[in-house]
Chain A
Amino acid sequence: MVNNYENYAFSAKFAPIFDNTKVYNNMSKDIRINKGLDINLVGAAEQTTSKAVLSNVYALNLDDFHGITPKMLVKQGAEVKAGEPIFYNKSREDMQFVSPVSGELVEIVRGARRRILTLKILADKSQEYVEHKTLDLANSDADSIREFFLKSGAWPFIKQRPYDIIANPDATPKAIFVSGYTTAPLAAASDYVLQGKEAELQAAITALGKLTPGAVHVSVGKSGNSPLAQLDGVTVHNISGPHPAGLVGTQINKIDPINKGEVAWTIAPQDLIIIGELLLTGKFNAERTVALAGSIVKAPKYYTTKIGAEISTFLYASGVHQDKYRLINGDVLTGSRTHPEGYLGFYNNTVTAIPEGDDYEFFGWNKPVFNKVSTTRALTFSWLQPKKKYDLNTNTNGEHRAFVVTGQYEQVFPLDIFPLQLLKACMVKDLDEMEQLGLYEVAPEDFALTEFICISKQPHQQIIREGLDLLHQEIG
């Protein structure tokens, strides 16, 4: 993986020269990630898809849009169409967020200081869509595409590094990264959910490609059959190796790491489908294939549903083994906690249900452990069976402590960054150090695996999130 680095640096350096010709398209390159850890869990979604029952109420959870202060465009009780803007970004009026369905905005749930938490829309029986004029992609320039994305509600799907927030439309990214390789535990397999969506994917990629003078880097599993690998206008990378090889942050670090002042955009492949359909038909169709997984689920499999759908609409179709469990919007490493009456997150295509672990364990700290995952061999025996599937629960397996051991994170952290030192820089709010140690390159999800194995049970993702927010606020 390191020896390929020079080539990538080279192509990135000269990418602007080849701007419009993109001669390096479809050259595929191999990237092998060695450091990492695959957490094999019981309850992977079977690759069959059912249609979920229609949800009565759909909701947008504002926590999904980190750092966005919403300004409402419609009042409570108003009728909206699918794809109709319901609020915009306070600091940028033209960045609009649209309703996933047509219906009535029945409730604006507010929290402390009247902060908007959730917008609930009671769906109509028959769906009406806002019809946008479709773009002639071949003859559209960056400005018209950007404008189309902003007004149609496609923009929030594009995220940026640094800071892991919704992309700033004023910036021109040096490259756009899409990861089509899934390594997170029990997450929806990109190879599966993207099947048959070639036209949408191609349209989205073509449009996105016009927004950057650099390359659109698409990573696919080396032994997979991702439709992404066949697209035009992309640089394909064949990735192999354990988690976090599938995280876009890992791929950026190996392909073309972000420097201070640079901007790279990332977008999840399932969101390319929505953008692609929008470009081809002019309609914002929030439909998405979601993996329902986890040891609690009786029949883990895939469902087609829409962004914001109530999770119970498909959770109970598969059934649950017990009443007390942890339901997660997303995968077990990066998802957020929810409940059956919660709503599918804006960026999520995985819902996981695992057992709660709120029980004491007699001498849990010194007896041999066979049923939990560990990277050490301190009477922990997961190294004996690397393929074994585990039924992990939410127990912390120990208490929060100061950082003590060293050298452990590095074993599962493939980025060219010192993880412990960067975390400490964030904790003491040392801006210079955060910048120098590479905070611009990472997102909280990149620290999920180090958080998982952390012996001191420190909240790595939260530390990084706070560090990013601070850096964004201070440096901008």
Chain B
Amino acid sequence: MGLKEKLHTFRVKNQDKKWFPVFSGFHTFLFTPNETTKHGTHVKGADDLKRTMNTVVMSLIPCLIFGMFNTGYQHYLALGEIDAVTGGFFGSGFWTWDNFILGFWKILPLVIVSYAVGLAVEFVFCVIKGHEIEEGYLVTGMLVPLIVPVDLPLWMLAVAVVFGVVIGKEVFGGTGMNILNPALTIRAFLFFAYPTWMSGDKVWVHGAVDSTGTADAISGETVLGYLAQGNTTDLAQKYDLADMFYGFIPGSIGETSTILILLGGLFLIFSKIASWRIMLSAVIGSLVMGLIFNGIVAAEWIPEYSKFYSLMSFEYWQHLLVGGLAFGIVFMATDPVTGAQTNRGKWVYGFLIGFMSVMIRVFNPGYPEGVFLAILLMNVFAPTIDHYVIRGNVKRRLKRLKNATIYPKVTEGAEALKTETV
């Protein structure tokens, strides 16, 4: 008897057990179920939610791997053990075994904790409610390690994941029912509960926190942090544009490499899994806001000593290269459950995310990043946007109703058979 038959017998025998959803969750990972259609269409399309979620996870893998290399690279660079990378994306000094192995052992525990804790919470809720395990956490569990600083203590991550999954998702009814993006809920929890671990110039490079106060103290600011300090002129000496585009800069684990995020986004658009409307309009939104700020600087409406000056004068399109904006646009804003659901709504929703992200980024004095707050805010407003789009359709229907051709009942006599305009 092969594995397939064994599992089938086991499945049939234990159908009524309390832990059945957990077994079923694992079983359906190994084998697509033998379920056949009962009512409705007799044949079904090839895609299911597992495949959809798997596609998103696949598009995140390059960012994860890059994050591992970058963790090691930023660490050794800050220690002064290696030189800055030269020679393009595949330049020497970055893709080294040392860099990778350091990042691997730093990031793997984050991934494991994120998945283990999150899935455990999901399993508990599924067993309590007796429904199947839904795949939503597959993507969330991968997103979470990519949007936190590398030195985040594991227990903090665990607490945040429990909070995010329970409050962000399960209380609303699980996958498909949540209002806020669970991964961003987790990040927001971390940000407000442990702000010292989520911002400043000590958290973005591995080893910076531990070495504080010692002779070997290292630090690493994000580009945005650097700008928020009022430095404008010598940014080019610190990082050139290629560094930002390739991702050789400090930041959250997966957010730095714009080129890989771009590739992931193109893959998601090509596979028709994520909405190109949201991505495109969010990019447009951020460019528009960036241009407005550049315009304000150019018009000299703001003095150079203003604390907003440096971020406002930051070249408008370069906002897309730094911080979490690109990552947020591609992987977070496109979450179909928490985003706008109508095609027209997606344009508005995406645009406002890009627009607000850059605005919050510039005006947030404590923390020069806005994308996660902008997306959470627009998550809340997405149903409102959809409401107005749908009302448009309803209005069109009501307008048509004015010309409705309603005939009286036959029983009311043939003479009464005249058009009535309602």
A283 to B51, CA, bound (A): 56
Q: Is B47 a contact partner of A401 (Cβ separation < 8 A)?
A: no
A374 to B422, CA, bound (A): 44
B396 within 8 A of A: yes
Number of A-B contacts (CB under 8 A): 268
Q: Is B48 a contact partner of A358 (Cβ separation < 8 A)?
A: no
A462 within 8 A of B: yes
**Closest residue of A by beta carbon distance from B389:** A418
Q: Is A421 a contact partner of B45 (Cβ separation < 8 A)?
A: no
Contact of B409 among A170, A214, A359 (CB under 8 A): A170
Q: Is A452 a contact partner of B45 (Cβ separation < 8 A)?
A: yes
Q: Is A438 a contact partner of B397 (Cβ separation < 8 A)?
A: yes
A394 to B51, CA, bound (A): 19
From B34-42, B113-121, B148-156, the one touching the partner chain is: B34-42
Q: Is A380 a contact partner of B44 (Cβ separation < 8 A)?
A: no
A2 to B178, CA, bound (A): 36
Residues of A within 8 A of B39 (CB): 459, 461-462
A401 to B51, CA, bound (A): 13
Residues of A within 8 A of B236 (CB): none
Q: Is B49 a contact partner of A455 (Cβ separation < 8 A)?
A: yes
Interface of A is mostly: loop
Q: Is B271 a contact partner of A262 (Cβ separation < 8 A)?
A: no
**Known contacts A436-B397, A452-B43; is-contact A261 B48 (Cβ 8 Å):** no
Residues of B within 8 A of A451 (CB): 40-41
From A24-32, A224-232, A361-369, the one touching the partner chain is: A361-369
**Closest residue of A by beta carbon distance from B35:** A396
**Known contacts A260-B404, A378-B273; is-contact A360 B47 (Cβ 8 Å):** no
Q: Is B47 a contact partner of A453 (Cβ separation < 8 A)?
A: yes
**Known contacts A369-B46, A399-B132; is-contact A407 B336 (Cβ 8 Å):** yes
Chain A residues numbered 294-353 whose CB sits less than 8 Å from any CB in chain B:
326, 328, 332-335, 337, 352
**How big is chain A's contact interface, by range?**
35 or more
1/0 contact trace for A387-429 toward B, CB 8 Å? Answer: 0000011111111111111111010000011101100000000
Min CB gap A291→B, angstroms: 16
Q: Is A328 a contact partner of B42 (Cβ separation < 8 A)?
A: yes
Residues of A within 8 A of B407 (CB): 171-174, 213, 263
Q: Is B52 a contact partner of A360 (Cβ separation < 8 A)?
A: no
A358 to B410, CA, bound (A): 52
Min CB gap B364→A, angstroms: 30
Residues of A within 8 A of B48 (CB): 365, 397-399, 401, 455, 457
Find the residue from B35, B38, B42, B270 having the highest chain A CB count within 10 A: B42
**Closest residue of B by beta carbon distance from A377:** B271
Find the residue from A173, A174, A335, A364 having the highest chain B CB count within 10 A: A364
Min CB gap B78→A, angstroms: 39
B294 within 8 A of A: no
Q: Is B42 a contact partner of A326 (Cβ separation < 8 A)?
A: yes
B32 within 8 A of A: yes
Contact of A373 among B36, B45, B270, B336 (CB under 8 A): B45
A307 to B40, CA, bound (A): 22
A129 to B47, CA, bound (A): 52
**Known contacts A364-B31, A365-B32, A418-B390; is-contact A259 B404 (Cβ 8 Å):** yes
**Closest residue of A by beta carbon distance from B56:** A378
Residues of A within 8 A of B38 (CB): 337
Min CB gap B418→A, angstroms: 8
Find the residue from A214, A362, A401, A456 having the highest chain B CB count within 10 A: A401
Q: Is B417 a contact partner of A261 (Cβ separation < 8 A)?
A: no
B201 within 8 A of A: no
Q: Is B30 a contact partner of A362 (Cβ separation < 8 A)?
A: yes
B238 within 8 A of A: no
Chain B residues numbered 65-92 whose CB sits less than 8 Å from any CB in chain A:
none
Residues of A within 8 A of B414 (CB): 141-143
A146 within 8 A of B: yes
1/0 contact trace for A1-19 toward B, CB 8 Å? Answer: 0000000010011011000
Find the residue from B46, B54, B337 having the highest chain A CB count within 10 A: B46
Residues of A within 8 A of B46 (CB): 369, 372-374, 380, 382, 397
A333 to B38, CA, bound (A): 12
A99 to B108, CA, bound (A): 72
Residues of A within 8 A of B44 (CB): 395-398, 452, 454, 457
Residues of B within 8 A of A407 (CB): 275, 277, 336, 341, 343, 346
A169 within 8 A of B: yes
1/0 contact trace for B99-136 toward A, CB 8 Å? Answer: 00000000000000000000000000000000010111
A45 to B55, CA, bound (A): 38
- Chain B residues engaging chain A, CB cutoff 8 angstroms: 4, 7-8, 28-52, 54-55, 132, 134-136, 173-177, 270-273, 275, 277, 336-337, 339, 341-343, 346, 386, 390, 393-394, 396-398, 400-401, 403-411, 414, 417-419, 422
| Sampled A-B contacts (8; CB under 8 Å) | A142-B414, A172-B410, A257-B400, A363-B30, A372-B46, A376-B273, A377-B272, A459-B40
Given contacts A332-B43, A373-B43, A438-B397, 11 further A-B contacts (CB under 8 A): A170-B410, A213-B417, A354-B42, A376-B55, A378-B273, A379-B55, A395-B35, A399-B35, A405-B336, A407-B277, A455-B49
Q: Closest 10 A-B residue pairs measured CB to CB?
A: A398-B48, A364-B32, A402-B176, A372-B46, A172-B407, A365-B50, A360-B31, A259-B404, A374-B46, A174-B405
